[in-house]
Structure 1
Amino acid sequence: MITLSMIVKNEEKHIKECLESVKGIVDEIVVVDTGSTDNTIKIAKTFGAKIYNFEWINDFAAARNYALKKSSGDWILYLDADERLLHKSINELKKLTRQKSNEAYYCRINNIDNINDRPSVMAYVRLFPNDKNLNFEGAIHEQIENSLKQNKYRIKNSTLEINHVGYSLTNNELKLKAGRNLQVLLEEYNKKKSPYISFHLGQTYGVLDDKEKALLYFYEALEGADLKKEYKALAYRYIGISFAEKQNFGAAEDYLKNSIECDPDQPLNLLAASEVYIANGKFKEAGSCCYHAYKVNKQYSEGKKFSFQSILLDDKSIIYQGLKIAVSSGNSYLFNIFFPLLKESKNLTKGDSLNELLLYDELLNNKKFSLNTIEQYLNFIDDKNLDLVLTLLEKYSRTDNKVLLLNALCNKFPSNAILFNKSGITLMQLKDFANAEKMLEKAKNLNESNPSIIFYLVSAYIQNNNFEKVVALIQSAEIQFVSSPEVLNSLKILKEKLKLL
């Protein structure tokens, strides 16, 4: 006998599909409501659910444990209202629960993200024997694993899969959710500090764009020996990226190496490492990371690989990165790996796909194209392949065409600092210093933390004899990058050359 155990609040949008996914499979449905004011309970009753009320006390584990007390089945399957058991898992569920045992099972949770295109897969214990000695722990991000281990249960992998649709949220919605979770996390942290809670505080502050606090808690989480390696890898990645954003690529590389040592098969970490390797001129390592990211991303997507937490990527994002590395380094071997993969990923009967491949051919072979052609190309250039297009443009020597395409791209991506920076550099090469200055000032306004933009802007000011602006820019940069020795040293050399101060 299987009991579906749930805690809910205002889930009328999701609960019907959740209960439909286990209809005729579970023998008992226990729904603990923590204060719904919509039709959640009414919908649950149509499925024969047993309804219990629980006064919310900012403690998810307490609500889960109350639901366990009300469950009478031999086995507990627990789901949230925005989750659905996959149909292909039904036979496996029946097989695992034929008789009671001392085994619990990890299930694959597919976190669907149709808005930000950043799905992830996780492994959580969702199926376990009903035992009065078992209890969830943690006021938020609650877990049953410790209790299972303390009570001598073995935890095994399974092929059970659950789709989680609740993270298809806009950035504002994600921040609202993170803000609600933050209070509970801080209360839990103040009661009992742990690397696990510190990690989730880091994640939460990261969503809320409070990088300083995110880093504080990630560093603290990494001090704990019992933090899962997948979580350590994500913390190291966040810290590494923070160093990369400050142009400290040496430290960024060190932390991303640590990330990969903890979890060698995390696609997002591998792709981040490849970007830092590019910045450090290590194209062989960049290409290796990128190709490995493609392989393991495919395996996770196809359910052939298991992880407690892995963020998936769109295959084409990895392919574009691989091509960017190949073009930057002139590596024909790597290019011949990724370009066929790009063609395989395209529906070549569609005009945009053909135009995309045509653009790459024209840029690679230094061919001339018209303004009308540029308009067609703009239809398929997006955030995923923009970096590749810009890399190809760096090798492209037809400056008139290059300026036309860069101007068109600046109009399409008005918030992309790198794009305006590259446009400014190209105009500098054409000795159009007045327009170069405008482009570089726009780039600086979009991203004041990138020192390379500042140095190019200084050059433009010098060419335009705007020495007052040069002095002001260097002085502000010295304040802004006071904690970056490499940038300060470059500024010092620049001042000595200019003999301004």
Structure 2
Amino acid sequence: MTAQKEKITALIITFNEIGYIEKCIDSISFVDEIVVVDSFSTDGTFEYLLSHPKVKVIQNPFENFTAQKSFALKQASNDWILFVDADEVVPIALKNEILETVEEPNDIAAYWFYRQFMFKNEKLQFSGWQTDKNYRLFRKSKAKFSDRKIVHETLEVNGTSGVLNEKLVHYCYKNYEDYKSKMLKYGRLKAIECFYKERKFNYLLMYLKTSWKFFNHYFLRLGFLDGKKGFTICYLNALGVLERFKELKGLEQKNELAYYLVMP
């Protein structure tokens, strides 16, 4: 008797990704189901997805990355999940490795992917990203997103993990304003996470951690070898850290104000 083919659901969350989502969808067309959760895009992303014959698109309000990805995971029909970002592309070599991997008879529950970061259409070789890896392929029955983080979400895996050889291509930098907006958004969400963990704002830590972020990525992680684009990426990454502390300070001030307003 022929063994039944393993089926894969690809999941993506989107907001205003037109110009990138098309390449992403094309690169994952080999899967059995594509589900996209869109947080009410205004640039034509939703309309494009709605008209695509292979895509099931659902709109859901964005609360944070963990909540949105957890919601997306519930929509999947298959156990094998391929979770990609809207600005990521699965090259043919990685596609073949994925298809071979899910058919392998083993107990591995999740696989790490290394990523090739792209600055527009140029490769970023350093700038802190050279060892970046994320879970992208896993069994739904063996994994869930941790509710302890709302940004840079963490997958909790019940079982062993593996690593794929081929890299996922990540078009992280579209233009200056887009990347800056992304880093500031991450910083604000991280501040909320810190606030609920009762971490306190500290001026010294703000200056030290912001400076360290730039120094570590630009000098120790060799960002300077990426030239001008390396400086830009490292500067904006550090800006995200600064925004986290500024937002945390604002949250503490609002909390203190609310406390005094409700005092008898």
Whether the aligned pair in 1 keeps the contact of 2:109 and 2:142 (CA below 8 Å) is: no
- Separation of aligned partners in 2, 1:157 and 1:267: 27
Matched with 2:95 is: 90
Deviation of 1:114 (Å): 4.1
Deviation of 1:313 (Å): 3.1
Deviation of 1:38 (Å): 2.6
What is the aligned-residue identity percentage? 26
Deviation of 1:115 (Å): 8.3
- Separation of aligned partners in 2, 1:111 and 1:130: 27
- Separation of aligned partners in 1, 2:153 and 2:77: 21
Which among 206, 217, 220 is matched to residue 269 of structure 1?
Answer: 220
- Separation of aligned partners in 1, 2:71 and 2:221: 42
Deviation of 1:33 (Å): 1.0
TM-score by length of 1: 0.39
Whether the aligned pair in 2 keeps the contact of 1:30 and 1:70 (CA below 8 Å) is: yes
Alignment of 1:115-134 (within 5 A): 118-119=124-125, 120-121=129-130, 122-131=132-141, 134=144
Which among 15, 20, 23 is matched to residue 14 of structure 1?
Answer: 20
Whether the aligned pair in 2 keeps the contact of 1:107 and 1:160 (CA below 8 Å) is: yes
Matched with 2:152 is: 141
Which among 190, 194, 218 is matched to residue 195 of structure 2?
Answer: 190
Structure 1 193/140 Cα, relative in aligned 2: closer, same or farther at 3 Å? Answer: farther
Deviation of 1:63 (Å): 0.4
Alignment of 1:287-302 (within 5 A): none
Matched with 2:245 is: none
Task: Kindly provide the amino acid, as one letter, of the partner of residue 7 in structure 1.
Answer: I
Matched with 1:75 is: 80
Task: Kindly provide the amino acid, as one letter, of the partner of residue 31 in structure 1.
Answer: V
Deviation of 1:102 (Å): 3.5
- Separation of aligned partners in 2, 1:50 and 1:103: 25
Structure 1 173/42 Cα, relative in aligned 2: closer, same or farther at 3 Å? Answer: closer
Which among 16, 29, 54 is matched to residue 48 of structure 1?
Answer: 54
Q: What secondary structure is seen at the aligned counterpart in 2 of 1:160?
A: coil
Matched with 2:116 is: 110
- Separation of aligned partners in 1, 2:183 and 2:207: 13
Whether the aligned pair in 2 keeps the contact of 1:69 and 1:132 (CA below 8 Å) is: no
Matched with 1:179 is: 184
Q: What secondary structure is seen at the aligned counterpart in 2 of 1:166?
A: strand
Whether the aligned pair in 2 keeps the contact of 1:107 and 1:158 (CA below 8 Å) is: yes
- Separation of aligned partners in 2, 1:94 and 1:60: 27
Matched with 1:416 is: none
Matched with 1:280 is: none
Alignment of 1:99-498 (within 5 A): 101-114=107-120, 118-119=124-125, 120-121=129-130, 122-131=132-141, 134-137=144-147, 138-144=149-155, 147-148=156-157, 151=158, 153-170=159-176, 172-192=177-197, 213-216=206-209, 235=212, 238=214, 241=215, 268-269=219-220, 313-314=225-226
Deviation of 1:141 (Å): 1.0
- Separation of aligned partners in 1, 2:65 and 2:86: 14
Whether the aligned pair in 2 keeps the contact of 1:118 and 1:313 (CA below 8 Å) is: no
Instruction: Indicate the structure with greater helix content.
Output: 1
Deviation of 1:135 (Å): 2.5
Whether the aligned pair in 1 keeps the contact of 2:108 and 2:162 (CA below 8 Å) is: no
Matched with 1:39 is: 44
Deviation of 1:73 (Å): 1.3
Structure 2 residue runs of 5 or longer lacking an equivalent are 1-6, 229-264
Matched with 1:294 is: none
Q: What secondary structure is seen at the aligned counterpart in 2 of 1:93?
A: helix
- Separation of aligned partners in 2, 1:268 and 1:87: 34
Structure 1 32/312 Cα, relative in aligned 2: closer, same or farther at 3 Å? Answer: farther
Structure 1 residue runs of 5 or longer lacking an equivalent are 202-209, 219-234, 242-258, 260-265, 272-310, 318-382, 384-501
Q: Deviations over 1:184-233 (max 9, x none)?
A: 11111111268xxx9xx9xxxxxxxx997251478xxxxxxxxxxxxxxx
Structure 1 40/269 Cα, relative in aligned 2: closer, same or farther at 3 Å? Answer: same
- Higher relative CO (Cα under 8 Å, sequence separation at least 6) belongs to 2
Structure 1 39/267 Cα, relative in aligned 2: closer, same or farther at 3 Å? Answer: closer
Matched with 2:68 is: 63
Whether the aligned pair in 2 keeps the contact of 1:118 and 1:312 (CA below 8 Å) is: no
TM-score by length of 2: 0.70
**How many corresponding residue pairs?**
215
Deviation of 1:89 (Å): 1.1
